[in-house]
Structure 1
Amino acid sequence: MSAAPTGTPTRQRVSASERRDALIAAAVHEFARGGLHGTPVDKIARRVGVAQPYVFSLFGSKKELFLAAVERGFVSVADTFTGAAAEFGPDDVLEDADVLHAMGASYLRLLHSDRDFLMLQHQAYAACDDPEIRDRVRALYAGLVAHVERLAADAAQRLGQEPPGPERVDEFFRYGMWMNVAAAMGVEDLSAGCDWVRAEGNK
C-alpha cells in the first residue's frame, strides 16, 4: 500500500489573464453599486483575493478598470442581441413582430436577471463628465447601434423581409433607455408601458 501524501497541497497557479477576467467581473459588481468615484480599488482586489498593487499591474489606473467593466457590460448586451437574432426564425415572424422585437424581449430578460449590468450602465453615463470616459462610452454605444443594425439587416435578408429603417432602430434604442430607467426605479412589469406611472399618480 502506498504511503499517504504528505505536505501542503500544491496551489493551482492562476494566470494573469484569468486574474484579469476575475477582476473585471468583480469590478462590474462593485462599480455598479459605488460608481467610479465611490468604489475603492482595494475592495475589488479583496473580492478576488489579490493585493491592490497587483490590480494596477494589470490595469494602469482605476479608470482603466472601470472602462474594462463598462465594456464588458456592452459586450454582454451585444451577445444577448446576437443570440436572440440567431434564434429568430420564420415561425416567429408576425405582422407586428420582427427581429427587433425578439432582441427587445431578450434585453428585457437581461434587465430582470442582471441588476449589476443595469446599474453599471447608469454609472457609466453618470461618469461621462470625464472626457476619456465620455468618448469611450459614446464609442461603445455607437458600436452597439451598428451591431443591432447589422443583426436586423442580416435577419431580414435571411427571412426575405425588408430591413428596419433608421427610425425603427432609433425607436428600439429609445425604448431600451426607457426600460433602463424604469428598471432602475424598481418597476417590476417593464412590458406595461407607462401604466405604472398612472398608478403612482392615483395613489
Structure 2
Amino acid sequence: MRMSAEERRESVVRAAMIEFAQRGYDGTSTQAIANRVGVSQPYLFRLFPNKRALFEAAVRRCTQDVKDALLGAVEGLADPEARAKAMGDAYVSLVADHSRLLLLQLQMYVSTAAARAEGDEEVGEAVRALWLDLWDSVRVAAGMTTEEVTGFFAYGMLINTLLAMGFPTGHRVWEGLWGAGKCGADDAAESPEVS
C-alpha cells in the first residue's frame, strides 16, 4: 500500500525525532533519517529543503505532542490546582519511559546552545518560538500566573533531568517533587517507573 505525500512526510518527521533524540543535531545525518524511513536522501530533500528544516519540523512535532498532552489533560477541569496536577501527571506519563519526547527535548536545548556558541541564532529562534508557544498555552489553559507557570516548568525541567540521569521515581531525590504535589504525582509509589 502506497503512502500519500503527507503520510510520507509524517513518517520522515517521526524518524527524524528518533534520530535527533538519539544523536543530537550535529550527530544526526540526513542519510540516517532517510534509511530509517526507507526513502532516498534526494527524496528526503524534496520534502525538507535542508537538515535544519527537518530538525525544526522534529522540534515542532515534539513541542506539539507535549502541548497536546498537557492541554488534553485539562479538558473539563475548572479548578486551577486540578488543572496543574492533571498536566503534571500527563507530562510525567509522557516522558517517564525515556521516550523520544524526553530525549528530543534535551537535544533541543543542547543543539540550540551549541548553535548559539557557533554564532548561529536561527536554530535558537525557532526553538524559542515553539517553546514560548508551549509556555503561553500552558499558562492560559491552567489559568496560572507568571510565577505559577514558572514553577510548573521549573519542576518539569527537574523531572527531565532526574529521568535523564536514570533516577528511579522511588528514589529519595523525587520526594520533594512528589511530596509537594508540584509535578502531578500523588506519591512516588503511584508514579511511573523509569527503566
Structure 2 Cα separation of the partners of residues 171 and 120 of structure 1: 22
TM-score (norm 1): 0.77
Is residue 2:117 matched to residue 1:133?
A: no
Given residue 108 of structure 1, which amino acid in structure 2 is its aligned partner? V
Structure 1 Cα separation of the partners of residues 60 and 98 of structure 2: 15
Where does structure 1 lack aligned partners over 5 or more consecutive residues? 1-11, 154-163, 197-203
**Superposition map of 1:154-165 within 5 A:** 164-165=144-145
Decide which of 29, 33, 43 is 1:54's aligned counterpart.
43
CA contact (8 A) 2:108 2:127 kept: yes
**Superposition map of 1:186-201 within 5 A:** 186-189=166-169, 193-194=173-174
**Superposition map of 1:26-105 within 5 A:** 26-88=15-77, 97-105=81-89
Residue 185 of structure 1 is matched in structure 2 by 165
Is residue 2:147 matched to residue 1:167?
A: yes
CA contact (8 A) 1:23 1:45 kept: yes
Structure 1 Cα separation of the partners of residues 126 and 154 of structure 2: 20
Higher relative contact order (CA 8 A, sep 6+): 2
Is residue 2:11 matched to residue 1:22?
A: yes
Where does structure 2 lack aligned partners over 5 or more consecutive residues? 177-195
Structure 2 Cα separation of the partners of residues 28 and 188 of structure 1: 25
Q: CA deviation at 1:191?
A: 8.6
Structure 2 Cα separation of the partners of residues 165 and 125 of structure 1: 25
Identity of aligned residues (%): 39
CA contact (8 A) 2:21 2:104 kept: yes
Structure 2 Cα separation of the partners of residues 104 and 191 of structure 1: 18
Residue 159 of structure 1 is matched in structure 2 by none
Spell out, residue by residue over 1:182-202, the C-alpha distance to the aligned partner (whole angstroms, 9 max, x if none). 111112207954559xxxxxx
Structure 1 Cα separation of the partners of residues 24 and 76 of structure 2: 35
CA contact (8 A) 1:182 1:190 kept: no
Spell out, residue by residue over 1:115-140, the C-alpha distance to the aligned partner (whole angstroms, 9 max, x if none). 21111111111111231110011111
